[in-house]
Structure 1
Amino acid sequence: MNINEKEETIDITSLIDFLSSLQKLNTSKSTEVYFRGQNQSYGNTLPGIYRPGLLKHEEELFRSFLVRDPVLFNVYSDGNTNFDRLALMQHHGLPTRLLDLTRNPLVALFFAVSGENQHSGEVVLFSNRLNKDYLSELPIVEQQTLTTLLAINESHPVSALQVVKSVFSDQIEVESSLVRLPLSAKEDITKVLNKLYAKPKDEWIHLFELASSSTRSMIDGFDENRPVVKLYHEIRRDIHDFTTDIDPLAFLVPKIVTPRVIDNRIKNQQGLFLFTPFVDTSLTGFEQATQNRLNLLRVTNGSKMVRFSIPCDSKADILAELAQCGITEDFIYPDHSHIASSIKDKFTTTENE
């Protein structure tokens, strides 16, 4: 599952190094870049739910938090969606399939250099554009389906390929509701999807010529599959008047979602989430298959994914440089406890000098 051999690693020893290296990246003006900082390299960018033993309990983790702390979820006057709940759980430290990203590269760098100093930190980059160079890493049916959809997209917009989604998006509601189904139901749905993706290329093209940007008319019998009926039931428990048809093609790509701003922490961090797509967990190597899907949004320099590495002995200096720019712990975490801790540390350091 290690992806380092497919990456270009750029060593960073100062803030100037980091900013200079970012400027040299060859990204188009229409490309939005998102950043993730980690205080050590894990060899992957999988979210917390992929830690050993947790994925099979995804639905139970969601339900248990909802039952144990119901007051937390009364934050929106217009009610909560399943994605709102998932985002709140991630915000408060529950392992989910959401991966924390930021629009601010300095915030990502802070996360890469703060905390323990025994390992090198890293910053990895994602974007709002699918990376065609990494389609070959996907299973053949997914590869062929996405290749065909991308070709069709050049003349007929394919909504299933839209990566950036609103928190109110129907597809985000669909996938957030799927989180709430047990593992066996998720596996059943991914099997139904894989069967659909295996349609011959000529059939895809013909169906899209008939349906244009819509996929509804090409999904004969999809809604009648028992696991899909269960998913509709779960969605309508959350949104009673949900009448949108599920687009099975939209499950293929990861999504970038901006959460609603509920506190200054999200505001200051300029945070957003990468929604990790569902793969068939009954198959050997499903973790790598998931990572390969996420890699579709990685920023590349040439043919390799960009990764900034910060040696452990440079972390303290960069942290001090970030503080001079106002990127401090109490800016990243502007709650009462962190503000108090920051004030205490300032006076403790002064006394020791």
Structure 2
Amino acid sequence: MSLEGMDVVNNYLSKIKEAVESSGVDLDKYEIFYRGENEYFETTIPTIFRSGLENEHKIFRELELRYPNIFDNAKSTIDKLAIMQHYGLPTRLLDLTTNPLLALYMAIDNHTTKDFSPSIKIVFVNKEKIKYYDSDTVSVLANFAKIEPNFSVDIYGLANNNGKIEKAQRGMAKAHYRFLGNHNKLKDLHKPLKYDVGKLICENSPNVHYLLHEIKGEKPYFKDMIWAEHFDRTVVFVKPKHNNQRVINQAGLFALFGMSNGKKESFSLEDCQEDNYFLIKPLKLNDGDSSCIKNCVENTKKALAILGITHDKVYPEIEHSAKYIKELFL
């Protein structure tokens, strides 16, 4: 085996080390995740946000009704979204891994010579932002997938009701939620004002009632109240159930995206960085000393194989294992 591929891997890990050291992140408070992409994107968004968001609710139900046996053991919407993501359906989930070598493999796998610009997104996530699969916040954001595209709630309604402003400001100490400072309706206030002390009142809102109905389908105890911030560019990082061999092998985690400004509109991970919950550092593999990766993908894959990263390990389903064995011996 040519050592060229191993040189690429070593250089790549050196660049990861440099990026981590230069981030200034307190690693006792943050975890590091990686995303490999075989094309460089300025923004990091889930596939459903690139195309098909207006039909998300139909896409969700169409696959479920066609393969009910696959979804029988999926008790929550996040479980169903994970299955859909597994089979390549566009969802509001974004795949991440804790293993930088896996991210490298994903960045160079299935590449084409056209516009091949592999890159890695290094995501530093505050541990407070990491949720488990059964989190109430996860239930709220996941069930946005079932909502029709005309969904809309006025999360800034309080800004038009001066009679409530002082009350809301007094309640800020109890809210413990980040302030909002970038919305036009709030610019004239003394301090950035959080939406209704962090709470959305759900009365007289049919859209929210329907969302609550879907949430209560998996959590009957859920109260008739949703934090307003969940409707405005919230992303949570979800540790899924290890009931899927691919999730286990890929050391996987999902970034789950919510709504934007109370509507089913797309937004990027980069849009949310000001929250200080996470930091993204892109790493272009075609830059600098890593430029050879474009010309030595196969050698790089062989080097990764020595380190235990092979196609059948990343994608453990039988059809992928068969493909790997075929390439190995034929």
| Corresponding position of 2:308 | 326
| Corresponding position of 2:256 | 275
Consecutive aligned runs of 4 or more in structure 1 exceeding 6 Å deviation: 197-203
Q: % of aligned pairs identical?
A: 27
Offset at residue 210 of structure 1 (A): 4.4
Answer yes or no: is 1:111 the counterpart of 2:106.
yes
Identify if the C-alpha distance between structure 1 residues 199 and 106 changes in structure 2 by more than 3 Å, giving closer, same or farther. Answer: farther
- SS of aligned partner of 1:262: coil
CA distance in 2, matches of 1:113, 1:128: 25
Deviations 1:283-333 (A, max 9, x none): 9xx54x445435456635xxxx33232442243332221111010001101
| Corresponding position of 1:36 | 35
Answer yes or no: is 1:21 the counterpart of 2:15.
yes
Deviations 1:216-259 (A, max 9, x none): 99467712141222221221233333237322224443110011
Q: State whether residues 163 and 253 of structure 1, in contact with CA within 8 Å, keep that contact through their aligned partners in structure 2.
A: no
Deviations 1:196-230 (A, max 9, x none): 588999765521224567x9994677121412222
Task: Give the partner amino acid of 2:84.
Answer: M
Offset at residue 116 of structure 1 (A): 1.8
| Corresponding position of 2:124 | 127
Q: State whether residues 59 and 180 of structure 1, in contact with CA within 8 Å, keep that contact through their aligned partners in structure 2.
A: yes
Moved more, 85-94 or 334-343: 334-343
| Corresponding position of 1:265 | 246
Report the aligned-residue RMSD. 3.1
Q: State whether residues 39 and 120 of structure 1, in contact with CA within 8 Å, keep that contact through their aligned partners in structure 2.
A: yes
- SS of aligned partner of 1:246: strand
Task: Give the partner amino acid of 2:129.
Answer: V
Offset at residue 13 of structure 1 (A): 7.0
Aligned length, in residue pairs: 291
Identify if the C-alpha distance between structure 1 residues 217 and 38 changes in structure 2 by more than 3 Å, giving closer, same or farther. Answer: closer
Offset at residue 22 of structure 1 (A): 1.6
| Corresponding position of 1:308 | 284
CA distance in 2, matches of 1:309, 1:197: 46
Deviations 1:65-118 (A, max 9, x none): 111111111235xxx111111111111111011011111111111001111241
CA distance in 2, matches of 1:221, 1:335: 43
Q: Could you tell me which runs of 5 or more consecutive residues in structure 1 were left unpaired when the two chains were aligned.
A: 1-11, 131-161, 349-353
- SS of aligned partner of 1:32: strand
CA distance in 2, matches of 1:58, 1:174: 16
| Corresponding position of 2:83 | 88
Q: Could you tell me which runs of 5 or more consecutive residues in structure 2 were left unpaired when the two chains were aligned.
A: 1-5, 178-193
Taking the TM superposition and a 5 Å limit, the aligned residue runs for 1:1-353 are 14-24=8-18, 25-26=20-21, 27-30=25-28, 31-52=30-51, 54-75=52-73, 80-118=75-113, 119-129=116-126, 162-185=128-151, 188-189=152-153, 192-196=154-158, 205-210=169-174, 218=197, 222-226=201-205, 227-243=207-223, 245-251=225-231, 252-280=233-261, 287=266, 289-296=267-274, 299=279, 305-310=281-286, 311=291, 312-348=294-330
| Corresponding position of 1:152 | none
